[in-house]
Amino acid sequence: MTDKKITPASLAAQAMGWIDPVTKAVVPPIHMASTYQRDEDNGYRSGRIYARADNPTFDQAEATLTALEGGARALIFSSGMSAATACFLALAPGDHVVVPKVMYWSLRNWLATFATDWGLKVDFVDADRTDAIAAAVRPGATKLVWIETPANPTWGVTDIAAAADIAHRAGALLGVDSTVATPVLTRPIEFGADIVMHSATKYLNGHSDIIAGALIGARDDAHWAKLRAIRAQLGTILGQTEAWLLMRGMRTLFPRVAWACRSAQTLAERLAAHPMVAEVLYPGLPSFAGHAVSRRQMTGGFGGMLSVRVKGGERAAIAAAARVALWKRATSLGGVESLIEHRASIEGPGTPCPPDLLRLSVGVEDGGDLFDDIDQALRRADNA
C-alpha cells in the first residue's frame, strides 16, 4: 500500500481493508453471542458487556460509515425509523423542532402524531426554501432543524450549508436525512450538519433483503452519548445477520449508485419529452427548481430517484403503473431492482404528494430496457 490517501470508493469496496487477525479471512464472521464473559476481577476489558448495547458484527459497518461520511462516530439501528426517531427522542418535551413538509412519510406522520403528543413542538416548513426555515426557528427554543435532501417523493433540495448556519445561529443542531444522496453524492457533515441519518434499508444495503438504519455524528460528545444510550435502552439494535448483510451491501455502494445515477439522468431527460408526462421531478434536470443547489452539494450525479407527473391525472398514473413489466410495483427504493409506485395512494389522506405522481427508483438494469418498459406502460395507459 502506498502513502496515497485511499478514496472512499476503495474504502467501501474493501470494508476498510479489514482482515481477520487469526484466520486471515477477508470477510468478517457473524458474532451471534448475546453476552460476554467478565474478567476475573469483575471487569470487562473487552469493552463488551451485553449485545443490546453493541456487537462486534456492528464494528465494521459503523467504522465504514464513519469514514464515508467524514464523521466522528456511527450507530446502526434496527430501521431507518428507529434511527430517525432517536434524534427526536434525545430531546425533551417542550423542545421545538423544524422539519420539512415533504419528507419520508412515516417519519412525517410520527412527528405529527406521537412526537406532538409526547410534547415536542413541531413546525412543518417548505425546507427547500431556507428563508422558510429561518422564519420558523426560535432562538433558544429550537433544538433541532431536520432536513431531507433530496426529499421524498418530489425530490426538493435543501441548501445544507445555509440550513446549518440558520440552525447553529439559533442554538440548534442540524440533522440531515441523506438516504437518497448517500455518501457517494453528498457528505452533509462537510456542509455543517451535526447528524446524518440513513435508512440503510435503501442504498446502503442495496439488495432489498434487510431493514436497517444508521446515524453518523459530526462529534463524539454528550449528545452522541445520549443517542447511543437511547439505542441500547430502547433495544433498537440491528440483528447480527442483518448487520453483516448491511456491510456486504456497502461494499458495492459506489458502483451501484453511479450506475443508478447515469440511468436516472437519461430516463429523466427522455421522460421529460414524453407525450404522456406532464413533468419530471429530478435534481439533475436544469429546469428543476433545486438544480443549482444540487450542483453545489452533490458530486458524481444527482441520485437514482425521480418522479413523473402523468398527463391524465391519478387514473392514468395508476393505469401506467399497472402495465409495467420490468419495473416492479413495490414500496421502497435503492435496491438493484427498479421499482415504481403510485405514492399518494400509499401515503393516504393528508399526503402532500400529487395524485398524478409516480415515484421511480432506478436500479442497475439496462437503462434502455427501463425506458422501453415505462414508455409502453404510459402509452397503453393513455388508451385505457
Q: What would the DSSP string read from start to end of 229-260? A: HHHHHHT-PPPHHHHHHHHHHHTTHHHHHHHH
Residues of the chain with CATH 3.90.1150.10: 254-382
Single pTM value for the model = 0.95
Q: What percent of the chain has pLDDT over 90?
A: 85
Kindly tell me if the per-residue pLDDT of 46 is higher than 50.
yes
- The chain-wide mean pLDDT, for the chain, equals 95
Segment 96-101 shows an average pLDDT of 98
Long-range pairs of 220-228 with CB within 8 A, sequence gap ≥ 24: 220/72, 220/73, 223/90, 223/173, 223/194, 224/72, 224/73, 226/90, 227/75, 227/86, 227/87, 227/90, 227/195, 228/75
Say which CATH class 254-382 falls into. Answer: alpha beta
Kindly tell me if the per-residue pLDDT of 43 is higher than 90.
no
Residues 246-301: tens digit of each pLDDT: 999 999 999 999 999 999 999 999 999 999 999 999 999 999 999 999 999 999 99
Catalytic residues: 52, 104, 177, 202
Residue 384: its pLDDT value, please?
Answer: 60
What does the CA dihedral 313, 317, 323, 326 come to, rounded to 10 degrees?
A: 150
Residues 6+ apart with CB under 8 A from 204: 65, 182, 198, 212, 214, 246, 249, 250, 253, 334
How far, CA to CA in Å, does 206 sit from each of 179, 209, 239, 323?
11, 8, 17, 25
Q: Which CATH fold topology does 8-250 show?
A: Aspartate Aminotransferase; domain 2 (3.40.640)
Segment 201-224 shows an average pLDDT of 97
Angle between helices 240-250 and 56-69 (to 10 degrees): 30
Segment 53-59 shows an average pLDDT of 88
Residues of the chain with CATH 3.40.640.10: 8-250
Say how far apart CA 34 and CA 143 lie, in whole Å.
35
Structure confidence at residue 319 as a pLDDT band (50, 70, 90): very high
Residue 50: its pLDDT value, please?
Answer: 81
Kindly tell me if the per-residue pLDDT of 4 is higher than 80.
no
Neighbours of 174 (CB within 10 A): 28
Residue 370: its pLDDT value, please?
Answer: 98
Which of 29-33, 228-232, 338-342, 367-371 bottoms out in mean pLDDT, i.e. has the lowest?
A: 29-33
Residue 349: its pLDDT value, please?
Answer: 87
Structure confidence at residue 189 as a pLDDT band (50, 70, 90): very high
Structure confidence at residue 71 as a pLDDT band (50, 70, 90): very high
SS3 93: coil
**Which of these, 84, 88, 106, 105, lies nearest to 97 by C-alpha position?**
88
Q: In which residue are the cell numbers 464515508 written?
A: 68
Residues 133-167: tens digit of each pLDDT: 999 999 999 999 999 999 999 999 999 999 999 99
C-alpha cell at 147: 432536513
In degrees, to the nearest 5, what angle opens at C-alpha 230 toward C-alphas 205 and 56?
A: 50
Structure confidence at residue 3 as a pLDDT band (50, 70, 90): low
Residue 51: its pLDDT value, please?
Answer: 80
Say how far apart CA 236 and CA 261 lie, in whole Å.
32
Segment 327-352 shows an average pLDDT of 94
Q: What percent of the chain has pLDDT over 70?
A: 98
Segment 349-369 shows an average pLDDT of 95
Kindly tell me if the per-residue pLDDT of 305 is higher than 60.
yes
- Are 278 and 310 within 8 A, CB to CB? yes
Residue type, 362: V
Say how far apart CA 239 and CA 232 lie, in whole Å.
13
Kindly tell me if the per-residue pLDDT of 350 is higher than 90.
no
Output 333 or 54, whichever has higher pLDDT: 333
For residue 305, the surrounding DSSP H or E stretch is strand 305-310
Kindly tell me if the per-residue pLDDT of 306 is higher than 60.
yes
Residues 228-238: tens digit of each pLDDT: 999 999 999 99
C-alpha cell at 229: 444510550
Structure confidence at residue 1 as a pLDDT band (50, 70, 90): very low
SS3 25: coil
